[in-house]
Amino acid sequence: MGNQSSEGSSHPFSRLSPEKILGVLDQLNLKTDARIFALNSYENRVYQIGLTDGSSRIVKFYRPGRWNEAQILEEHKFCTELVELGVPVSAPLNLGTEGTLARVQGFYVAMFDMLSGRAPELDDETNLAIMGRFVGRIHAVGAQNCFSERLEFSPERLGAMSREFLLSNDFLPPDLLRAYESLSQDLILKVGKVFESDTPLAQIRIHGDCHFGNVLWNEEVPHFVDFDDSITGPAIQDLWMMLSGSRNDQQLQATQIIKGYNEFYDFDLSEMRLVEGMRTLRLMSYSAWLARRWNDPTFPSTFRWFNTERYWSEHILELREQLALLHEPSLEVRL
């Protein structure tokens, strides 16, 4: 079913053997003790490495062809700005004469301090407000300058282009094709209307992928990692993924988050109308992301449930539920 193309051993990441990684680290003049642990990262390759002084660092190999040098350096600059202003994020370390980004053996490589922490517990109103405060701090810094190289938030890219990729590469099973074609088109039209406004949507530098997997909670402070998807976008993009549960639950959560957020940066409540549209776009773009990466051998072995008839059937059901939610009133925030 679908596009089963696979580059196998010809995929660039297939060249990252332990020996290759150690060779790259040696070229960067890092004194390692040969300890290498692969961390859970699929878009890039990320490793915890041991140094001879007993400490550890995180080394990131960027996916070839995804970002160019200027785009990555803008990500690094944003993170460095945040750290300099006391915001707890993971910023790249200086690699000597290479700056924060090196190009070694065909890979862009960066290094970070190793951070420890746990997933945030957001069933607590206090923790929700804390998360809001720190995202507000990120956005207060983000609004002080602009990206010139990074992408902008785009419903067309996340929605219509995701749909087109899946359809043009035959990922949908034949008996579900017409249902997906019709439903996804209806969703794109409805999401487009959700984003329509007489007032231009305010867009600033944001994290871009602010889910709990990218937050480490340590001593009542959230530390934000992985700015790889940092874009110019609306503030709500960094907030809506913290919401879960029933409509009432989400309204209570949003109220606490935004109360904390407003202590550092003013949130435009009109952006709450975008939540279900953004959730829809994420569902559509996630499926397309998996499909686009299906020639990376790590993906078929890790996401075995993807590209099966059951997956697509459940995906269509999720999208139907989203179409219904898009017709409901926006979540209400009571400040």
Query: From CA 5, how far away is CA 205, in angstroms rounded?
Result: 36
Query: From CA 59, how far away is CA 37, in angstroms rounded?
Result: 10
Q: Residue 110 has what pLDDT? A: 97
Give the largest CA-CA distance in the chain. Answer: 60
Q: Is 221 exposed, middle or buried (0-12, 13-18, 19+ CB in 10 A)?
A: exposed
- Residue (of 14, 94, 112, 108) closest to 61 by Cα position: 108
Q: Residue 6 has what pLDDT? A: 45
Query: From CA 319, how far away is CA 277, in angstroms rounded?
Result: 11
Is 209 an annotated catalytic residue? yes
8 A C-beta contact, residue 150 and residue 71: yes
Query: From CA 271, how far away is CA 330, in angstroms rounded?
Result: 9
Residue-by-residue pLDDT tens, the chain, 335 positions = 655 544 455 789 988 999 999 999 999 999 999 999 999 899 999 999 999 999 999 999 999 999 999 999 999 999 999 999 999 999 999 998 779 999 999 999 999 999 989 988 888 899 999 999 999 999 999 999 999 999 999 999 999 999 999 999 999 999 999 999 999 999 999 999 999 987 889 999 999 999 999 999 998 899 999 999 999 999 999 999 999 999 999 999 999 999 999 999 999 999 999 999 999 999 999 999 999 999 999 999 999 999 999 999 999 999 999 999 999 999 999 98
Q: Residue 92 has what pLDDT? A: 97
8 A C-beta contact, residue 76 and residue 100: yes
Residue 244: count other Cβ atoms within 10 Å of its Cβ.
11
Query: From CA 260, how far away is CA 252, in angstroms rounded?
Result: 13
Q: Which of 53, 226, 228, 266 is catalytic?
A: 226
Q: Do domains 8-113 and 125-325 have the same CATH topology?
A: no
8 A C-beta contact, residue 112 and residue 92: yes
3-state SS, one letter per residue, for the chain: CCCCCCCHHHCHHHHCCHHHHHHHHHHCCCCEEEEEEECCCCCCEEEEEEECCCCEEEEEECCCCCCCHHHHHHHHHHHHHHHHCCCCECCECCCHHHCCCEEECCEEEEEEECCCCECCCCCCHHHHHHHHHHHHHHHHHHCCCCCCCCCECCHHHHHHHHHHHHHHCCCCCHHHHHHHHHHHHHHHHHHHHHHCCCCCCCCEEECCCCCHHHEEEECCEEEECCCCCCEEECHHHHCHHHCCCCHHHHHHHHHHHHHHHCCCCCCCHHHHHHHHHHHHHHHHHHHHHHHHCCCCCHHHHHCCCCCCHHHHHHHHHHHHHHHHHCCCCCCCCCC
Query: From CA 251, how far away is CA 329, in angstroms rounded?
Result: 12
CATH 3.30.70.980, domain 8-113, yes or no: no
The fold of 125-325 is Transferase(Phosphotransferase); domain 1 (1.10.510)
Please give the model's pTM, rounded to 2 decimal places.
Answer: 0.94
Query: From CA 95, how far away is CA 46, in angstroms rounded?
Result: 16
Query: From CA 204, how far away is CA 209, in angstroms rounded?
Result: 14
Q: Which of 209, 228, 238, 296 is catalytic?
A: 209
Backbone angles phi, psi at 333, to 5 degrees: -110, 125
Q: Residue 2 has what pLDDT? A: 59
Backbone angles phi, psi at 110, to 5 degrees: -135, 160
Q: Residue 198 has what pLDDT? A: 76
Would you kindly state where each structural domain of the chain is located, as residue ranges?
8-113, 125-325
Query: From CA 60, how far away is CA 62, in angstroms rounded?
Result: 6
The pairing of beta strand 102-104 with beta strand 215-218:
unpaired
Q: Residue 3 has what pLDDT? A: 57
